[in-house]
Amino acid sequence: MQTVTLKVSYAPFVRSSDSIEKVMYNVAIALAPATVLSIYFFGWRALVLTILSVVSCIGFEWAVDKIRGREQTAALDGSAFVTGLLLALNVPSSLPYWMLIIGAFVAIVISKHLFGGLGYNIFNPALVARVFLLISFPVAMTNWPVPFGVDMETAASPLGVLKTDGVAAIQDISLWHMSFGQIGGSIGETSAIALVLGALWLLFNRYITLTIPLSFILTTFGFTGIFYLLDPLHYASPIFHVLTGGLLLGAFFMATDMVTSPIALRGQLLFGFGCGLLTAIIRLWGGYPEGVSFAILIMNALVPLIDSWDLSDKKQKAKEEAK
Amino acid sequence: MKTFKIGGIHPPENKLTEGNSIEVLPIPSELAIPLLQHLGKPAKPVVKAGQRVKKGELIGEADGFISANVHATTSGTIKAIKSHPHPGGQYAPTVFLESDGQDEWLDGCNTEPQDWQSFSKEDILNRIKAAGVVGMGGAGFPTNVKLAPPKDKVIDTVILNGAECEPFLTSDHRLMVEEPEGIIEGLKIITSLFSTPVKAYVGVEANKKDAIEALAKYASSYNFEVVQLETKYPQGAEKQLINSITGRKIQEGELPFDKGCIVNNVGTAFAVYEAVCKNKPLIERVVTVSGIEIQAKKNLKVIIGTMFSDIISACGNIPGTVNQVISGGPMMGKAQYSFEASIIKTSSGILFINNEGLDTSRERTCIRCGKCVEACPQELQPWLFTNLAQRREFDELPAYGLFNCTECGSCTYVCPSKREIVHWIKYSKAIVNNRKKRKSA
Ligand code: SF4
Ligand code: SF4
């Protein structure tokens, strides 16, 4: 009989075609509409920033993997790509290039690899970088170029206007502009329509579930809605809160980051609720006009706690069943 | 259509041999019949080298309560009794039998079908025991033991398992299509053993329409129900099957009879029928020979002890692209290290596959996607088991239901990080059990 070398491995011998790459690049695909539209609004500088952010994140990932003696292919597993993309979408299109590169460094080297790399990081790397930049370079990070503006003409974002000038000042921003995205803001956050389109792609392909985004958005909507109903002259409408700032980008693409959100359904509900509540509180009474990044990062920190709460319950159940 | 409520996956079905009628493999010249083909202790050999035996003659005697008889599967001469590669992965004591080509039955074996209605319950159980019938779906639990649950358990449901949810495998499917009468006769015999009124079911996945039809023909002559089950893995796992059909849930540490259920594979029911009515020991079974890579895909009726190498020569040589031979299905089977291993009572299939594309050697970090939790039919946290085991915190695992894991592999199938979750679970179970043993010693 012919000789065949037999390989012995463990069952199961069939595996689904899912992979880290597939998960990550699908998130990138889902972010494509928002990215393309932002380039349309904010011009070539948005495009350069996006490419620069992605390339530097992949570069840092490659370098760290080399230093840590890890597989070099990890740089192309899509996670650095997505972090780079999200970072770019979270900064104004006028941000100096060197600042963005610092952001990429903070995201990949500090927020991801100092915690152990993909799967071990507690905080969403892109958000850590964004908050780092916001605190270090507050002016550059809140200078919002206006859509179709010439020569980097800037203005405050709708949420900024609300914070400084009150409700009256935002009355004439049209619902259509807020939905389509023709307002000031970070590169990728302005178009609600494009973001929802991308989110539908992820939902349809089951890369994310509605649990976190829905509980997040509904909580912000409900909380800001209560105050709007009580005093519409002082508080903006909940629709305004949902459509402006980074709420949709955060709720669909960053709070849903698998690595930094709870695994179980109950934990996810609590996580989304916490994100929504903190966002609303910061927006209504905080020092910053926008609170999505802070809210998600604070909730990220609580994930181990939420998970262990969920698991202690499972442990209890297993114990009872064993009896 | 019925199904279990929690978890489950749907891998490509690949039932490549579902339309192939059962063929009989010619008797090979030499057989290696393991004395361990069941759960429990290996059988004690009762023959010596040089001795002549007839087909159906006892060669290994059940050693204790949980053990089973083993019989000569053709007539010939015993050559040796020695340790030999076993399809389960280890070496096991094995009886070598050289065929004399006569295939001559022992007197009184394999008779014309007799009417079993006149037999006493005890007689029936004794015949099943004598014939060495064990669960043919996988675990190989001695059937006479299973059919005699403790007196205080009230049995109200008897289920035959024809789900065959493993991809590729079609041996149960073909048996249901070709031998429905024997299977249903076996079901009748099994239900007759319980003094309480029982409801009888045969559960079959919806992708086996012809099997459902073949069985349903007998539903009018005898009161049982053919339940069409959603094609979903692991539909054929005992706990999931019971949940699908009765809605009951077997908790950790419970056995089916604790919830009033007895589950047997359809192949086992057929063996029960042959043992009781024809006095025929369990010496052959249907085996699916399949795999994307090979030309000759078949459902073969093979006598126990046939070595894999004989099946391969009967099916034509295997192409060089094959690098794994699996005994059983692709979800729960065992990769073989030797072509000398043989077909045993629980061998449902042999698969020839190429797993270059699988890339199982590179386990990556858990990205906490939760897919494994979603897939687990036992409501467990597979990712947590793996992460704890890799940190060597084995003693933590039982508290999260480690021993409630049925090792179905659904979690491992879906994991995008290609983590070897079931492997870590099996490893942890072994370590925890060893520590327990050492402590009590
Ligand atoms: S192998 Fe165990 S942990 Fe994994 S899905 Fe099956 S029952 Fe759940
Ligand atoms: S499927 Fe794999 S990567 Fe996802 S949570 Fe489970 S173990 Fe982790």
Q: Where does the pLDDT of residue A321 fall: very low under 50, low under 70, confident under 90, or very high at 90 and above?
A: low
Pocket test for ligand 1, best of B166, B376, B414 (most atoms within 8 A of CB): B376
Q: Provide the percentage of residues in chain A whose pLDDT is more than 70.
A: 95
* Spatial distance between the Cα atoms of A227 and A238, rounded to a whole number of angstroms: 9
Indicate if ligand 2 lies below 6 Å from the C-beta of B155: no
Per-residue DSSP letter, B319: P
Q: What is the CATH number for A107?
A: 1.10.3430
Residue B394 falls inside a structural domain: yes
Residue A153 falls inside a structural domain: yes
* Spatial distance between the Cα atoms of B321 and B314, rounded to a whole number of angstroms: 19
Q: What is the CATH number for B266?
A: 3.40.50.11540
Residue A47 falls inside a structural domain: yes
CA distance A180 to chain B (A): 31
Mutate to test the interface with B, among A2, A5, A16 (most CBs of B within 10 A): A16
* Ligand 2 centroid to residue A206 C-alpha, Å: 15
Residue A322 falls inside a structural domain: no
Domain that includes residue A134, residue range: 20-309
Residue A105 falls inside a structural domain: yes
Residue B340 falls inside a structural domain: no
Residues B248-253 have a mean pLDDT of 91
CA distance A10 to chain B (A): 6
Q: Tell me, what's the pLDDT at B322?
A: 85
| Three-state secondary structure of B5-22 | CCCCECCCCCCCCCCCCE
List Cα–Cα distances, A165 to A227, A280, B118, in angstroms: 18, 18, 96
Residues B235-241 have a mean pLDDT of 95
> Cis omega (within 30 of 0) on the bond before A33?
no
Tokens (6 digits) for A249:
């980008």
Domain end marker among B261, B278, B295 = B278
Residue A314 falls inside a structural domain: no
3-state helix, strand, coil in chain A (%, to 5): 65, 0, 30
* Spatial distance between the Cα atoms of A293 and A305, rounded to a whole number of angstroms: 20
pLDDT at A22 over 70: yes
Q: Tell me, what's the pLDDT at B60?
A: 95
| Number of domains chain B is built from | 2
List Cα–Cα distances, B328 to B25, B137, B158, B171, B305, in angstroms: 18, 10, 25, 11, 16
B415: nearest CA partner in chain A: A18
Please give the single-letter amino acid code of residue B250. I
pTM of the full structure: 0.91
Q: Do the Cβ atoms of B162 and B266 come closer than 8 Å?
A: yes
Indicate if ligand 1 lies below 6 Å from the C-beta of B376: yes
Q: Tell me, what's the pLDDT at A176?
A: 84
Q: Do the Cβ atoms of B261 and B240 come closer than 8 Å?
A: no
Residues B196-224 have a mean pLDDT of 92
CB neighbours of residue B313 within 10 Å: 14
Residue B408 counted as an annotated binding residue: yes
Residue A319 falls inside a structural domain: no
Q: Tell me, what's the pLDDT at A2?
A: 55
Q: Do the Cβ atoms of B331 and B234 come closer than 8 Å?
A: yes
Residue B308 falls inside a structural domain: no
Q: Tell me, what's the pLDDT at A11?
A: 86
Residue B242 falls inside a structural domain: yes
CA distance B417 to chain A (A): 6
Residues B142-148 have a mean pLDDT of 94
Asked if residue B137 and residue B263 are part of one domain, the reply reads: yes
pLDDT at B284 over 80: yes
Q: Which of A165-179, B131-145, B248-262, B281-295 has the lowest mean pLDDT?
A: A165-179
Domain end marker among B278, B310, B343 = B278
pLDDT at B45 over 90: yes
Interchain CB distance below 8 Å, B323 and A5: yes
pLDDT at A316 over 80: no
Tokens (6 digits) for A90:
């979270």
Q: Provide the percentage of residues in chain B whose pLDDT is more than 70.
A: 99
pLDDT at B47 over 90: yes
Interchain CB distance below 8 Å, A119 and B409: no
- Closest residue by Cα to atom 3, ligand 2, is B366
Residues A46-51 have a mean pLDDT of 95
Residue B256 falls inside a structural domain: yes
The whole-chain average pLDDT of chain A stands at 90
Q: Which of A151-160, B93-102, B171-180 has the lowest mean pLDDT?
A: A151-160
Residue A168 falls inside a structural domain: yes
Asked if residue B375 and residue B263 are part of one domain, the reply reads: no
Q: Tell me, what's the pLDDT at A172?
A: 77
Tokens (6 digits) for A265:
């359904």
Residues B193-218 have a mean pLDDT of 94
Q: Tell me, what's the pLDDT at B143?
A: 96
Q: Where does the pLDDT of residue B10 fall: very low under 50, low under 70, confident under 90, or very high at 90 and above?
A: very high
Sheet holding B58-61, edge to edge: B44-45, B58-61, B70-71
Q: Tell me, what's the pLDDT at A318?
A: 63
- Please write the tens of the pLDDT for every residue from A200-214: 999 999 999 999 999
Listed ranges A72-86, B4-18, B355-369; the one with the highest mean pLDDT: B4-18
Q: Where does the pLDDT of residue A151 fall: very low under 50, low under 70, confident under 90, or very high at 90 and above?
A: low
pLDDT at A156 over 90: no
Asked if residue B376 and residue B272 are part of one domain, the reply reads: no
More confident residue, B319 or A119: A119
Q: Tell me, what's the pLDDT at A9?
A: 85
B101 touches chain A (CB under 8 A): no
Asked if residue B161 and residue B265 are part of one domain, the reply reads: yes
Question: Phi and psi of B387, rounded to 5°?
Answer: -65, -40
- Owner of token pair 């021993």: B403
Residue B87 falls inside a structural domain: no
CA distance A260 to chain B (A): 8
Exposed e or buried b per residue across A203-219, where buried means at least 16 C-beta atoms within 10 angstroms of its C-beta: beeebbeebbbbbbbbb
Domain end marker among B244, B278, B312 = B278
Q: Which run of H or E residues covers position A27?
A: helix A20-42
Question: Phi and psi of B97, rounded to 5°?
Answer: -125, 125
Asked if residue B381 and residue B255 are part of one domain, the reply reads: no
- Please write the tens of the pLDDT for every residue from A280-300: 999 999 888 889 999 999 999
B90 touches chain A (CB under 8 A): no
- Please write the tens of the pLDDT for every residue from B118-133: 999 999 999 999 999 9
- Direct distance between the N- and C-terminal alpha carbons of chain B, in angstroms, rounded to an integer: 50
Residue A11 falls inside a structural domain: no
Domain that includes residue B206, residue range: 133-278
Tell me the Ramachandran region of residue B92: left when phi exceeds 0, alpha when psi lies from -120 to 50, beta otherwise.
beta
Helices B180-192 and B121-130 pack at an angle, to 10 degrees, of: 130
Outline where DSSP puts E strands in B107-256.
Answer: 157-162, 199-205, 225-229
Q: Which residues pair with B350 in a beta bridge?
A: B289, B327
B414: nearest CA partner in chain A: A16
Instruction: Indicate which atom in ligand 1 lies nearest the CA of residue B404.
Output: 7
Residue B372 counted as an annotated binding residue: yes
| Number of domains chain A is built from | 1
CB neighbours of residue B416 within 10 Å: 23
Q: Tell me, what's the pLDDT at B360?
A: 56
Helices (H), B194-261: 209-216, 238-246
* Ligand 2 centroid to residue B69 C-alpha, Å: 43
Q: Tell me, what's the pLDDT at B265?
A: 96
B412 touches chain A (CB under 8 A): yes
Which residues lie closer than 8 Å to A111 by C-beta, 6 or more apart?
A121, A123, A124, A125, A128, A129
- Owner of token pair 């693409």: A253
Please give the single-letter amino acid code of residue B320. G
Tokens (6 digits) for A254:
């960053």
pLDDT at A319 over 80: no
- Please write the tens of the pLDDT for every residue from B52-70: 999 999 999 999 999 999 9
Q: Which of A12-26, A60-74, B31-45 has the lowest mean pLDDT?
A: A60-74
B141 touches chain A (CB under 8 A): no
The whole-chain average pLDDT of chain B stands at 93
Report the DSSP pairing between strands B22-24 and B298-303: parallel
pLDDT at B243 over 90: yes
- Please write the tens of the pLDDT for every residue from A56-91: 999 999 999 999 888 767 788 999 999 999 999 999
* Spatial distance between the Cα atoms of A202 and A299, rounded to a whole number of angstroms: 22
* Ligand 2 centroid to residue B423 C-alpha, Å: 14
